[in-house]
Amino acid sequence: MLSQIRNTASFIRSEAPFVPEAGIILGTGLGGLVDEMEVRVAIDYKDIPDFPVSTVAGHRGRLIFGLLGGRRVVAMQGRFHYYEGYTMQQVVFPVRVLRELGIRRLLVSNAAGGINPDFHTGDVMVITDHINLLPNPLIGPNIDELGPRFPDMSEPYSRELIALAHKVADERGIPLREGCYVGLTGPSYETQREYGFYRTIGGDAVGMSTTPEVIAARHMNIPVFAVSVITNMGLAGLRSTHEEVQAEGIKAGRRMNSLFAGLLEALEE
């Protein structure tokens, strides 16, 4: 696996215009952040050796190198999900490649269903903790060169980056929520009783991604900042469709784009 990570990173490095400072993973309907970037190079996933390929609508399937907030970034315009049939090793493979490329921070976004009754569709929720109900991506032989066998998860989401994000949001007039994200397998949306259960165990939003990527990043000691864009309210008893999730993600994504750009701009070296 380590040689595969290095080989893939070597290919991308040969196409890349610079060493990225930060990596960004864009969720369903949130790929519009790329429009805010000063794009230097775009590489289709299908052209990258051993890279998975996005199969979900709303995920373009490109690796984008460019400038955002004055920082050198590499953005994944589309991610990979367990429900697509990928193994957990494949799901987190890109995160490991990004680390090999040199990123020092990881910014993650997703479209999520809100289960906190105080939330509303279109809210941007800063993830402060998570409950992972997907298979753990670290199961199997540990890659010692990447991180320890039993990584600490007491701070999965960087408190420093969260505090800085709130400062940026205040300056830009971006309202933020905070909450706990529950990572599920999907692909079916949840029943009302399931929504209620996830709320009871401490969740504020539910989705089908993110937690494996965060676990892999923290295994490699990469600080993480993540947000959920609340694209539907699960406990409202309304039907959910992927098209509606995409549409709400695009609308709320503009605020997320501003937040990510401002956060990167405010970072110290």
Please report the pLDDT score of residue 179 as a whole number: 98
Please report the pLDDT score of residue 107 as a whole number: 97
CA distance 2 to 10: 12
User: Which positions ≥6 away from 241 have C-beta within 8 Å?
Assistant: none
Please report the pLDDT score of residue 110 as a whole number: 94
Please report the pLDDT score of residue 1 as a whole number: 86
Please report the pLDDT score of residue 30 as a whole number: 72
253's torsion region: left (phi>0), alpha (psi -120 to 50) or beta? alpha
Has this prediction a pTM greater than 0.85? yes
Please report the pLDDT score of residue 268 as a whole number: 77
Please report the pLDDT score of residue 241 as a whole number: 66
CA distance 198 to 181: 10
CA distance 54 to 18: 25
pLDDT along the chain (269 residues), means of 10: 95 97 87 88 95 69 94 94 95 98 97 94 95 98 97 98 97 96 95 95 97 98 96 70 66 86 89
Q: Residues 62, 187, 199, 212: is their CA dihedral positive or negative?
A: negative
Please report the pLDDT score of residue 239 as a whole number: 63
Asked if 220 and 147 count as a contact pair (C-beta separation under 8 A), the reply is: yes
Could you say which DSSP state residue 157 is in? S
Amino acid at 37: M
Nearest to 98 by CA among 68, 64, 70: 64
All domains of the chain in start order, with CATH: 2-266 (3.40.50.1580)
Bridge pairing between strands 105-114 and 224-233: parallel
